[in-house]
Amino acid sequence: MGLLDRLSGLLGLKKKEVHVLCLGLDNSGKTTIINKLKPSNAQCQDIVPTIGFSIEKFKSSSLSFTVFDMSGQGRYRNLWEHYYKDGQAIIFVIDSSDKLRMVVAKEELDTLLNHPDIKHRRIPILFFANKMDLRDAVTSVKVSQLLCLENIKDKPWHICASDAIKGEGLQEGVDWLQEKTIQSDPSCEDMKR
């Protein structure tokens, strides 16, 4: 780390960087959400299905998030686990209108929660019950019931209803994620004082 970097860190000008994994089935809206969280001049106009994964960045008031935006397509889901170790927080996105695949989303979530690199860590998980604008969407309470989120006892979690196209519900989620990441990550110790 250079002198300037260290100085700006000490003066509180440089935001602490944290690694976030963005997971969920294909078409749930992960890339659209991450794109909307970037400053408007950095947003991409055409979102296409992610191939493999892409690394994106966005900032909150105190943190700089480096996001591993993973593809949710079946053939790429086995890539997710390779990034679990380095993840300090998780964003898990659900298409609230895709009732048929809610059970698949639950299976992927259960596999994630039981993975050895995740199971014993108090890693915060933010759920976006996305696509709330669609007529078929179920409520975030229903999504939470379908995924049995109340069974998650050993990790802080929160669910936000969102419409990623309009950007609704996203800020509430990021505010929660920032607070919990600072609380649960030992590398953010100096920010708690």
Question: Binding of Mg ion at residue 28 (CB under 5 A)?
Answer: no
Q: Which does 54 bind (CB under 5 to 8 A by kind): Mg ion, ligand GTP, none?
A: none
Report how far residue 9's alpha carbon sits from residue 102's, in angstroms, rounded to the nearest whole number: 43
Q: How far apart are the first and last CA of the chain?
A: 23
Instruction: Among 16, 18, 29, 88, indicate the residue that binds ligand GTP (CB under 6 A).
Output: 29
Q: Is 164 in the site for ligand GTP (CB under 6 A)?
A: yes
Query: Which of 14, 15, 27, 179 touches ligand GTP by CB under 6 A?
Result: 27
Which residues, 87 to 116, sit near ligand GTP by CB under 6 A? Answer: 93
**Residue in the block written with tokens 């259960």:** 110
Collapsed DSSP state (helix, strand, coil) of residue 112: helix
Choice between 24 and 173, CB closer to ligand GTP:
24
31 binds Mg ion (CB under 5 A): yes
Partner residues linked to 129 by β-bridges: 94, 161
HEC profile for 128-164?
EEECCCCCCCCCHHHHHHHCCHHHCCCCCEEEEECEC
Contact window for ligand GTP (CB under 6 A) among 12-20, 69-77, 115-123, 139-147: 69-77
